């Protein structure tokens, strides 16, 4: 389910995204790949904890967080499921292979400051200022030429797109196989 707000020129948009738990894997794959098809820079404004599917806002080009933000993958390994849905791709890619695997295998919780120290978040703000800063950055970006925005974004996401195309289905299959061992 998405809720979007569009302001100013048509290429300026901000979206609040909610992913329902237990989403059908095909829909999850489409969501993750469609987010990569957005042809302008994407700004994430994280205003609170991201316990599940934190990989979605963390794949944005600019990531802002409130000082109350925290990150954890509570949906997968810690709940008896193989990390998938892009978590197995995105977190090791963003955090480094060993650190990303540690995060996924231990259920580690990262504070906003820890996420910033690891390079996952660009800026930490008070909760009431995160969305305003995101709009300020979006408005600044709209002053740039359309093709500059489009081709920069396409260049930024191509590596992620290739990794997702190669490994997203594999993670979903591994989760399904692991669930066969534990039908509960």
Are the CB atoms for 151 and 37 separated by under 8 Å?
no
Q: Is 133 part of a structural domain of the chain?
A: yes
Q: Looking at residue 77, what is its pLDDT?
A: 86
- Taking only the tens of pLDDT, the chain with its 184 residues reads 233 333 434 343 444 443 344 444 566 678 888 899 999 999 999 999 999 889 999 999 999 999 999 999 988 888 888 888 889 999 999 999 999 999 999 999 999 999 999 999 999 999 999 999 999 999 999 999 999 999 999 999 999 999 988 988 888 888 888 888 775 6
Q: DSSP state, 159?
A: H
**Beta-bridge mates of residue 111:** 70
Under DSSP, is residue 145 helix (H, G, I), strand (E, B) or coil? coil
Q: Is 125 part of a structural domain of the chain?
A: yes
Are the CB atoms for 78 and 45 separated by under 8 Å?
no
Q: Is 21 part of a structural domain of the chain?
A: yes
Q: DSSP state, 61?
A: S
Nearest to 171 by CA among 82, 53, 92, 97: 82
CATH of the domain at 39: 3.90.226.10
Q: Is 171 part of a structural domain of the chain?
A: no
Per the annotation, the verdict on 55 as an active-site residue is yes
Q: What are phi and psi of 89, to 5 degrees?
A: -100, -50
Give the number of other Cβ atoms within 10 Å of residue 139's Cβ: 13
Catalytic residue (one of 27, 39, 55, 136): 55
Give the number of other Cβ atoms within 10 Å of residue 105's Cβ: 13
Q: Is 85 part of a structural domain of the chain?
A: no
Q: Looking at residue 99, what is its pLDDT?
A: 97
Q: Is 83 part of a structural domain of the chain?
A: no
Query: Which pTM value belongs to this model?
Result: 0.81
**Beta-bridge mates of residue 177:** none
- Structural domain containing residue 47: 2-73+110-165
Element (H, E) at 14: strand 13-17
Q: Is 55 part of a structural domain of the chain?
A: yes
Q: How many domains does the chain have?
A: 1
Q: Is 84 part of a structural domain of the chain?
A: no
């Amino acid at each position: 389910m998405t809720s979007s707000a569009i302001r100013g020129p048509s290429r300026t948009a901000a979206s609040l995204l909610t992913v329902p738990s237990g989403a059908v894997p095909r829909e999850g794959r489409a969501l993750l790949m469609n987010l990569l098809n957005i042809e302008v820079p994407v700004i994430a404004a994280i205003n609170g904890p991201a316990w599940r599917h934190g990989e979605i806002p963390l794949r944005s080009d600019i990531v802002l967080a409130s000082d109350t933000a925290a990150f954890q993958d509570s949906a997968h390994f810690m709940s008896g499921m193989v990390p998938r849905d892009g978590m197995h791709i995105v977190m090791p890619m963003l955090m480094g292979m060993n650190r990303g695997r540690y995060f996924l295998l231990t259920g580690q919780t990262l504070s906003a400051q820890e996420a910033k120290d690891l390079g996952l978040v660009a800026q930490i703000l008070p909760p009431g200022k995160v969305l305003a800063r995101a709009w300020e950055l979006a408005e600044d970006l709209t002053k740039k030429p359309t093709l500059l925005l489009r081709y920069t974004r396409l260049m930024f996401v191509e590596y992620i797109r290739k990794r997702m195309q190669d490994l997203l289905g594999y993670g979903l299959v591994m989760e399904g196989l692991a669930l066969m061992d534990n039908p509960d």
